[in-house]
Amino acid sequence: MRVGLLLAAFPNNLLFKIWKKIMTQKILVLAGDGIGKEIVAEAIKVINVLKSDFALDVELEYGDIGGAAYDASGHPYPKETQEKAATADAILLGAVGGYEYENLPRKLRPERGLLAIRADLDLFSNLRPAILNETLADASSLRPEVVAGLDIMIVRELTGGIYFGQPRAIETDENGERFAYNTMVYKEPEIERIAHSSFKIAMQRNKRLCSVDKANVLEVSELWREVLERVAKEYPEVELSHMYVDNAAMQLVKEPKQFDVIVTGNLFGDILSDAAAMLTGSIGMLPSASLNADGMGMYEPIHGSAPDIAGQNIANPLATIMSVSMMLRYSLNNTELANKIDAAVEKVLAQGYRTADIFVEGTRLVGTDGMGDAVIAALQA
């Protein structure tokens, strides 16, 4: 552990990479707040079955983040968690936040813990799938035939662009009129690394990548497009296309199944990934991943800590269980077990198991733990 910590201070060091390869892979579990604890407990049950029945060689370590960390140590991202994160191969996160923390100073709020860990680990590549299982097509606000079987991956650049660009300010001019500005800026290496990340993901899927920008208006998009074209030469099997963001928004609601992987900057990705998530109609069903350049990643459901339903055993754990599947696929290089989890989730849905958020008349209502048990039964069948 201490050796790992020492080597982790130099993540590009060859020794660190070799050390990580020979050690049992380590998953850091950060359950967080609210329903975080309940949904993560189900995901851990699944991991333990993969360990006992399918020879998955991982070790689980636990830490605090968000409000739980503030309660335990006075900070939403304490040093101890930071140290554990530095040597983990992947992180499974529940959710953070709660009413009781809303009046804390901004820098101590649970959500700050999330921003801090993302920045600390340089998790610049945010993967948000929008998947709609055939059996849940009625949950979407779009016609079932438009969305049934939907499977899109949106790759959003997470640590650059207009949300971080300088200068930024609200100022007052000489006439006393206030004005405000932000800067949309991308450096070539930032575009290059998100491009590589998205091409690699396209290689693991249907090999079609659509880059979304606003190159008809923005210089930053012009550079984005140029770099994407250049990086594409290293992935000749992937078919690269470009689309303006306004058209992409239209196409997502008109004919979403035309997309395989979409890559875009921070601002456009923020908006498009939420729109795509809502095509599926169920917030409790969507996992996500945030990766760094070494493929180390943090995996979490896209929803929050849902304090309104916390502690009632009614939260849907499937987004968290599918986050484990993404972890196996993108950080632990175990596509076989990732496919097993996905198939088990499909099976329980086909069997009619539903938590309250996706329940419809004629299906079988189960609690958070009941859904976890059903997935395990499907895995072991």
Q: How far is the CB of 100 from ligand NAD (least distance, A)?
A: 10
Site for ligand NAD in 269-298 (CB under 6 A): 283-284
Contact 244, 216 (CB under 8 A): yes
CB of 93 to ligand NAD, least distance (A): 7
Q: Which of 71, 122, 151, 270 is catalytic?
A: 270
Is residue 57 annotated as a catalytic residue, yes or no?
no
Q: Pick the binder of ligand NAD from 89, 190, 260, 357 (CB under 6 A).
A: 357
254 has catalytic annotation:
no
DSSP labels for 275-322? HHHHHS--GGG-EEEEE-TTS-EEEEESS---TTTTTTT-S--HHHHH
CB-nearer residue toward ligand NAD: 11 or 307? 307
369 as an active site residue: the answer is: no
Q: Which is nearer to ligand NAD, 158 or 248 (CB)?
A: 158
Q: Which amino acid is at 349?
A: L
**What is the smallest separation between the CB atom of 65 and ligand NAD, expressed in angstroms?**
9
Measured between alpha carbons, how far is 191 from 210 in angstroms, rounded to an integer? 14
Footprint of ligand NAD on 59-98 (CB under 6 A): 95-98
CB of 314 to ligand NAD, least distance (A): 7
The helix or strand, by DSSP H or E, that contains position 96, with its residue range, turns out to be none
Closest to 54 measured CA to CA, from 368, 335, 301: 335
Pairing verdict, β 58-63 and 25-32: parallel
Question: Cβ 31 to ligand NAD, closest distance in Å?
Answer: 11
- Residues in the interface with ligand NAD (CB under 6 A) total 22
Q: Are 363 and 312 in contact (CB under 8 A)?
A: no
Longest Cα pair distance anywhere in the chain, in angstroms?
A: 74
Tell me whether residue 294 is one of the annotated catalytic residues: no
Using CB under 6 A, pick the residue from 50, 309, 324, 338 that binds ligand NAD.
Answer: 309
Smallest gap, in angstroms, from Cβ of residue 36 to ligand NAD? 7
Scanning 21-29, 196-204, 306-314, 340-348 for contacts with ligand NAD by CB under 6 A, the matching segment is 306-314
Work out whether strand 169-172 and strand 178-181 pair parallel, antiparallel, or are unpaired. antiparallel
Of 46, 1, 15, 41, residue with least CA distance to 328: 46
Helix (H, G, I), strand (E, B), or coil: what is residue 330?
Answer: helix
Q: Which is nearer to ligand NAD, 66 or 160 (CB)?
A: 66
Q: Which of residues 31-60 bind ligand NAD (CB under 6 A)?
A: 35, 39
Distances (CA, A) of 349 to 14, 133, 151, 307, 371: 44, 8, 16, 25, 10
Would you count residue 344 as binding ligand NAD (CB under 6 A)?
A: no
Q: Give residues in contact with ligand NAD (CB under 6 A).
A: 35, 39, 95-98, 111, 114, 283-284, 300, 303-309, 315-316, 319, 357
Residues recognised as catalytic: 163, 214, 246, 270, 274
